[in-house]
């Protein structure tokens, strides 16, 4: 991990800077002052404890779905299904929260474990399909997204209907990841213990990927499954394991969203954290620590854009545009890398003359 | 007569590497000049300078006595210089003609007119005996044919100086012979040719003079007629190279590998190996000879657990492993130097250190309770790098992808031998390597035999089989033609057997 790697950080930061510059350009073109715009955008994300807490609460599920995508990617799999896995994680968490009456100290671990298992199951199936029948995981995880969507769509009104047809009942305090200590510390924000869950996950994922036999094998399968097979590594089992772990992470992300940030589930949407997780992972070059950084950054933009809109005439969509532009630059990071390479080469050449 | 091309005191540097250090070569009109050197000696770099792909830091290039600057390949083309790269640059869903005219498309009023071009190509093809169909699609023709399209590209542009970068590396023996013929035709028509290779036999067959470079420096230029292969090899490697491997006395022990009536199917579910029976004993090298695609690949895959067996039995040290997993076979002390080092043998994005523990990362001391032990992994990597002379930019930390083919292969050979197997299966262990590395790897294989291990050598190179084996098994169309004693046979007899003629004397 120590050597993982200055180049990626540089590329990520460049993408961010270019994205911000592009955002400034949009603001200027629409007749606004970019400096005021950015001032309020970042102020909106960090200005006081409450806003900071909300930023972190916003980042929490993104860290987990970002890890999910990054983990799968490091092992050669493209997990587009984080949204569905998160939804199932949230559904399981909500279901237990609404039906099981236990003290908080027992109920919360139960909820988290069940959410992780639900997400894992949702990704395990595409893993099996890939391993046994060579069905591409992009196709099957998208399919699973919609199955999760419709499953939630019918389950919530049928069993957990709240005051609206489209919403579940509110979970009790015992089932919520919110805790008075944190809520008060951050002046009544949405921040919750999911943050610790996500930090532990960052730590564990980076340990697994970099320090363990399991990580070595998963990455070997991802880089070159023929060589892995040659070396006696059970390729199919590791594909399934990788998907299941990625799904568990996304499932946890769903729990931190639906029983942490929120207190009820709505039907009829796939949570955006699934797809934003792809962006987070991309900007982070799939490194766990990078995921932490880029999720927090996206959290700032997400929670600051409303404030920017309130204080200026800049539409909140500028925030999304900046994110999209950053993603664009991160996705074309090859070009940025090449640009750096040519720069260093030229410099090297000059110094020699 | 004036030389067609002179490259004088060329110096070309890459970050951290002096690829060409004051190299001088001359090419005379109508000759074939061979450029000989180990992998990484700087041959391709030198030719890329001539073709305008790289700019030298210093030195001059003269074409027909005139000093020239070649800033890009277009200028090289205008000067009559053409190059066939090691990896062809063809558009696969274009026809031969479309590929050849690419970049200089003939148009009339903005509309592409290919008819004349196609006619000219047909005519050139006939003139030089190339036998290319101008209307065929690239994706439908063989690698050898694609190479001829590259040659036609040069001829179409009226190139006078033709550069070939390792043209035989991708060809079958038959195609190599045809290429030699084509090169002679080209020479007869007055073209001047530079050919990069590290195969001495080919230089003997085709070249007039040979320029040798070693680690970027010019060693010398010799007349091929007056220089033996051994002398050229010595110039290239910088020390005496023995082509003959000294083996200890032949003392075969107990049977290690027993293959009984083994039948295996290929990827298209057709029989690839039919009722194949073979034994390998401790302390002997058994060579498997055969033309490519006669079941060798499937045989090895069945032995190593990468392909299911239809019927028959495989035993190692008396234990049945016919349906064992790859892992179980590794544990049964079977090691495997795979045919395709980049596909099977290495994880190219892993470091050398990580690649050295590809099979045993799960064992002490490389991991404890599921956690990798980097110190032990790096210690072993440094030991193997030292013992097997694996050269790389950053030692154990180098990505396998960055190593030259020879060093990748040495790493694999080292790793497999270090597993201390009872049975070592070596498939094409020296494909594409220069003589120095070949000699080295051959020595290591014979060491295994002398240490009382069983070695199964599968190779398409007949010389290699004949040099190393104690016994030779010949396969043809998936069937065992016969097993012969290596001492009492020769290239001709084996060649006949490879064609399916059962002249072999049973052991
Ligand atoms: N584009 C490049 N950038 C950096 N190093 C290079 C480049 N091309 C070649 N080299 C290095 O220069 C040396 C000579 O390479 P090359 O000319 O390809 O050797 P050869 O063709 O004789 O095998 C090698 O050490 C190689 O790694
Ligand atoms: Mg080369």
> Mind telling me how many Å the CA of A22 is from chain B's nearest CA?
34
Pairing between β-strand B271-281 and β-strand B255-265 as defined by DSSP bridges: antiparallel
Looking at residue A352, its pLDDT comes to: 32
* CB contact burial B41-63 (16+ within 10 A = b; e otherwise): bbbbbbbbbbbbbbebeebebbb
Tell which residue, A267, A268, A263, A272, has the closest CA to residue A156. Answer: A267
| Residue ranges per structural domain of chain A | 61-284
Residue nearest to atom 2 of ligand 1 (CA): B14
Give the number of residues written for chain A. 353
pLDDT digits (tens, 9 = 90+) for B464-482: 999 999 999 999 999 999 9
Q: Do A224 and B346 touch (CB under 8 A)?
A: yes
Q: Which of A211, A217, A224, A234 to mutate to test the interface with B (most CBs of B within 10 A)?
A: A224
Closest chain A residue by Cα to residue B374: A211
Choose one of B7, B21, B40 to mutate for the ligand 1 pocket test, by most ligand atoms within 8 angstroms of C-beta.
B40
Q: What is the mean pLDDT of residues B251-277?
A: 94
Closest chain A residue by Cα to residue B324: A232
> Looking at the complex, does the CB of residue A231 fall below 8 Å from at least one CB of chain B?
yes
Query: What separation in angstroms does the CA of B136 have from each of A232, A344, B40, B89, B233?
Result: 43, 45, 36, 16, 41
Residue B306 confidence (pLDDT) above 50: yes
Strands (E), chain A: none
> Looking at the complex, does the CB of residue A349 fall below 8 Å from at least one CB of chain B?
no
Q: What is the CA radius of gyration of chain B?
A: 25
Q: Give the sheet arrangement for strand B423-427, strand by strand.
A: B334-337, B423-427, B454-458, B285-289, B471-476, B479-485
pLDDT in tens, chain A (353 residues): 444 456 778 888 888 888 889 889 988 888 889 899 899 989 988 889 999 999 999 999 999 999 999 999 999 999 999 999 999 999 999 999 999 989 999 999 999 999 999 999 999 999 999 999 999 999 999 999 999 999 999 999 999 988 888 899 999 999 999 899 888 888 888 999 999 999 999 999 999 999 999 999 999 999 999 999 999 999 999 999 999 999 999 999 999 999 999 999 999 999 999 999 998 998 888 999 999 999 999 999 888 888 888 888 888 787 778 778 877 887 777 677 777 766 655 444 333 32
- Report helix angle A49-74 to A288-311, nearest 10: 140
Percent of chain B with pLDDT over 90: 69
Cβ < 6 A, ligand 1 pocket? B 14, 17, 19, 37, 39-45
DSSP letter, residue A168: B
Phi, psi of B351 (to 5 degrees): -75, 170
Asked if A318 and A304 count as a contact pair (C-beta separation under 8 A), the reply is no
Q: What is the mean pLDDT of residues B39-59?
A: 92
Q: What is the CA radius of gyration of chain A?
A: 21
The encoded tokens of residue A291 equal 């995921």
Determine which of A10-14, B209-213, B303-307 has the lowest per-residue pLDDT on average: A10-14
Asked if A220 and A231 count as a contact pair (C-beta separation under 8 A), the reply is yes
Tell which residue, B150, B54, B42, B60, has the closest CA to residue B96. Answer: B150
Nearest-angstrom CA–CA distance, A251 and A248: 5
Please enumerate in sequence order all residues whose Cβ is within 8 A of that of B26, keeping only pairs 6 or more positions apart, or say none.
B3, B5, B6, B7, B221
The encoded tokens of residue A161 equal 């209907």
**Cβ-based burial of A176 (10 A; exposed 0-12, middle 13-18, buried ≥19):** buried
Tell which residue, A221, A236, A253, A238, has the closest CA to residue A58. Answer: A253
The encoded tokens of residue B317 equal 């040290």
Nearest-angstrom CA–CA distance, B456 and B471: 10
**Cβ-based burial of A92 (10 A; exposed 0-12, middle 13-18, buried ≥19):** buried
pLDDT digits (tens, 9 = 90+) for B106-156: 877 777 788 889 999 999 999 988 889 999 999 888 888 899 999 999 999
From the CA of B216, give the closest atom in ligand 1: 14
Tell which residue, B58, B41, B399, has the closest CA to residue B236. Answer: B41
| H or E element, residue B424 | strand B423-427
From the CA of B42, give the closest atom in ligand 1: 17
Phi, psi of B110 (to 5 degrees): 80, 0
CB nearest to B344's CB, from A226, A234, A345: A226
Kindly tell me the sign of the dihedral angle through the C-alpha atoms of B291, B297, B298, B300.
Answer: positive
ipTM of the complex: 0.85
* CB contact burial B463-475 (16+ within 10 A = b; e otherwise): ebbbbbbbbbbbb
> Looking at the complex, does the CB of residue A241 fall below 8 Å from at least one CB of chain B?
no
User: How many whole angstroms from B166 Cα to the centroid of ligand 2?
Assistant: 7
Q: Do B370 and A214 touch (CB under 8 A)?
A: yes
State whether residue B275 is helix, strand or coil. strand
Query: What separation in angstroms does the CA of A260 have from each of A88, A197, A256?
Result: 15, 11, 5
Nearest-angstrom CA–CA distance, A291 and A273: 13
Nearest-angstrom CA–CA distance, B198 and A307: 69
Concatenate the DSSP letters of all residues of B427-477 into one string: ESTTTT--HHHHHHHHHHHHHHHHTT-EEEEE-S-HHHHHHH-SEEEEEET
pLDDT digits (tens, 9 = 90+) for B380-404: 999 999 998 898 888 999 999 988 8
Nearest-angstrom CA–CA distance, B341 and B361: 19
User: How many whole angstroms from B44 Cα to the centroid of ligand 1?
Assistant: 7
Which residues from chain B sit within 8 angstroms of residue A229, using beta carbons?
306, 326, 344
Asked if A27 and A34 count as a contact pair (C-beta separation under 8 A), the reply is yes
CB pairs under 8 A between A and B: 66
Q: Do B350 and A220 touch (CB under 8 A)?
A: yes
Concatenate the DSSP letters of all residues of A38-62 into one string: HHHHHHHHHSSHHHHHHHHHHHHHH
Asked if B49 and B198 count as a contact pair (C-beta separation under 8 A), the reply is no
Q: Which of A3, A209, A219, A231 to mutate to test the interface with B (most CBs of B within 10 A)?
A: A231
Looking at residue B503, its pLDDT comes to: 60
Residue B222 confidence (pLDDT) above 60: yes
Q: Do A230 and B336 touch (CB under 8 A)?
A: yes
> Mind telling me how many Å the CA of A231 is from chain B's nearest CA?
5
Q: Do B338 and A230 touch (CB under 8 A)?
A: yes
Residue B53 confidence (pLDDT) above 90: yes
Residue nearest to atom 7 of ligand 1 (CA): B14
User: How many whole angstroms from A243 Cα to the centroid of ligand 2?
Assistant: 41
Task: Say which residue the tokens 């809109």 belong to.
Answer: A309
Closest chain A residue by Cα to residue B363: A213
User: How many whole angstroms from B66 Cα to the centroid of ligand 2?
Assistant: 28
Percent of chain B with pLDDT over 70: 98
Q: Do B362 and A213 touch (CB under 8 A)?
A: yes
Asked if B128 and B155 count as a contact pair (C-beta separation under 8 A), the reply is yes
Q: Do A216 and B325 touch (CB under 8 A)?
A: no
State whether residue B107 is helix, strand or coil. strand
Q: Taking the complete model, does pTM exceed 0.90, yes or no? A: no
Which residues from chain A sit within 8 angstroms of residue B303, using beta carbons?
none
Closest chain A residue by Cα to residue B301: A230
Q: Do B343 and A226 touch (CB under 8 A)?
A: yes
Q: Which of B340, B358, B378 to mutate to test the interface with A (most CBs of A within 10 A)?
A: B358
């Amino acid at each position: 991990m120590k050597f993982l790697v200055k180049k990626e950080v540089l590329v990520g930061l460049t993408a961010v800077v270019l994205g911000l510059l592009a955002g400034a350009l949009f603001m200027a073109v629409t007749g606004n002052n970019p400096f005021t715009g950015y001032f309020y955008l970042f102020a909106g994300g960090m200005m006081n404890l409450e806003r900071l807490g909300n930023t972190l609460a916003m980042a929490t599920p993104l860290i987990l779905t970002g890890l999910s995508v990054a983990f799968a990617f490091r092992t050669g799999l493209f997990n587009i299904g984080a949204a569905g896995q998160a939804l199932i994680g949230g559904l399981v968490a909500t279901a237990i929260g609404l039906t099981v009456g236990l003290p908080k100290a027992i109920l919360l671990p139960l909820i988290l474990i069940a959410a992780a298992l639900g997400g894992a199951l949702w990704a395990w199936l595409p893993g099996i399909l890939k391993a046994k029948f060579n069905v591409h995981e992009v196709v099957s995880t998208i399919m699973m997204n919609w199955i999760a969507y419709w499953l939630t769509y019918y389950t919530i009104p049928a069993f957990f209907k709240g005051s609206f047809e489209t919403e579940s009942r509110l979970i009790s305090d015992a089932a919520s990841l919110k805790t008075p200590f944190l809520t008060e510390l951050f002046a009544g924000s949405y921040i919750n213990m999911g943050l610790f869950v996500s930090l532990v996950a960052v730590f564990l994922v980076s340990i697994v990927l970099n320090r363990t036999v399991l990580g070595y094998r998963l990455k070997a399968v991802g880089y070159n499954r023929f060589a892995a097979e040659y070396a006696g590594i059970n390729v199919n089992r590791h594909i399934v394991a990788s998907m299941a772990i990625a799904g568990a992470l996304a499932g946890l992300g769903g729990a931190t969203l639906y029983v942490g940030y929120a207190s009820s589930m709505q039907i009829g949407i796939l949570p955006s954290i699934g797809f934003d997780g792809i962006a987070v992972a991309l900007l982070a070059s799939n490194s766990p620590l990078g995921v932490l950084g880029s999720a927090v950054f996206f959290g700032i933009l997400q929670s600051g854009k409303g404030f920017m809109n309130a204080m200026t005439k800049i539409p909140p969509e500028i925030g999304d545009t900046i994110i999209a532009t950053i993603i664009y630059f991160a996705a074309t990071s090859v070009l940025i890398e090449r640009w750096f390479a040519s720069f260093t080469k030229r410099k090297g050449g000059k110094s020699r003359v | 007569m004036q030389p067609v091309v002179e490259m004088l005191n060329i110096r070309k540097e890459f970050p951290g590497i002096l690829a060409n250090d004051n190299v001088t070569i001359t090419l005379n009109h109508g000759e074939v000049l061979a450029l000989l050197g180990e992998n990484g000696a700087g041959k391709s770099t030198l030719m890329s300078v001539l073709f305008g792909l790289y700019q030298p830091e210093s030195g001059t290039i003269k074409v027909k006595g005139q000093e020239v600057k070649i800033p890009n390949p277009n200028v090289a083309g205008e000067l009559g210089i053409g190059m066939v790269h090691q990896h062809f640059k063809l558009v696969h869903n274009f026809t031969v003609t479309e590929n050849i005219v690419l970049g200089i498309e003939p148009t009339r009023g903005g509309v592409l007119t290919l008819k004349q071009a196609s006619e000219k190509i047909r005519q050139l093809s006939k003139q030089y005996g190339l036998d290319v169909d101008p209307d065929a699609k690239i994706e439908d023709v063989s690698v050898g044919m694609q190479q001829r399209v590259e040659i036609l590209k040069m001829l179409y542009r009226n190139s006078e100086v033709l550069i070939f970068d390792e043209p035989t590396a991708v060809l079958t023996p038959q195609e190599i012979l045809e290429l030699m013929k084509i090169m002679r035709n080209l020479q007869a028509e007055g073209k001047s040719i530079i050919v990069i290779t590290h195969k001495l036999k080919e230089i003997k067959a085709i070249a007039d003079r040979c320029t040798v470079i070693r680690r970027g420096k010019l060693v010398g230029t010799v007349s091929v007629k007056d220089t033996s292969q051994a002398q050229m090899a010595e110039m290239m490697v910088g020390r005496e190279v023995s082509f003959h491997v000294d083996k200890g006395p032949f003392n075969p022990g107990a049977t290690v590998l027993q293959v009984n009536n083994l039948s295996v199917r290929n990827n298209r579910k057709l029989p690839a190996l039919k009722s194949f029976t073979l034994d390998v004993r401790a302390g002997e090298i058994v060579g498997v000879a055969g033309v490519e695609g006669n079941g060798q690949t499937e045989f090895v895959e069945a032995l190593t657990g990468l392909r299911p067996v239809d019927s028959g039995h495989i035993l190692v040290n008396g234990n049945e492993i016919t349906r064992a997993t790859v892992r179980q076979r590794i544990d049964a002390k079977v090691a495997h130097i795979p045919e395709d080092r980049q596909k099977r043998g290495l994880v190219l994005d892993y470091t050398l250190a990580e690649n050295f523990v590809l099979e045993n990362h799960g064992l002490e001391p490389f991991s404890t309770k599921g956690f990798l032990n980097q110190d032990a992994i790096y210690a072993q990597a440094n030991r193997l790098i030292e013992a097997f002379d694996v050269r790389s930019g950053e030692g154990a930390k180098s990505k396998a992808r960055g190593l030259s083919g020879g060093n990748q292969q040495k790493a694999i050979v080292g790793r497999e031998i270090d597993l201390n197997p009872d049975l070592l299966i070596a498939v094409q262990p020296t494909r594409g390597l220069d003589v120095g590395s070949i000699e080295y790897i051959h020595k290591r294989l014979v060491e295994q035999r002398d240490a009382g291990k069983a070695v199964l050598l599968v190779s398409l190179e007949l010389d290699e089989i004949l040099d190393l084996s104690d016994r030779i098994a010949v396969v043809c169309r998936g069937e065992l033609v016969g097993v012969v004693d290596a001492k009492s046979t020769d290239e001709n007899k084996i060649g006949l057997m490879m064609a399916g003629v059962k002249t072999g004397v049973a052991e």
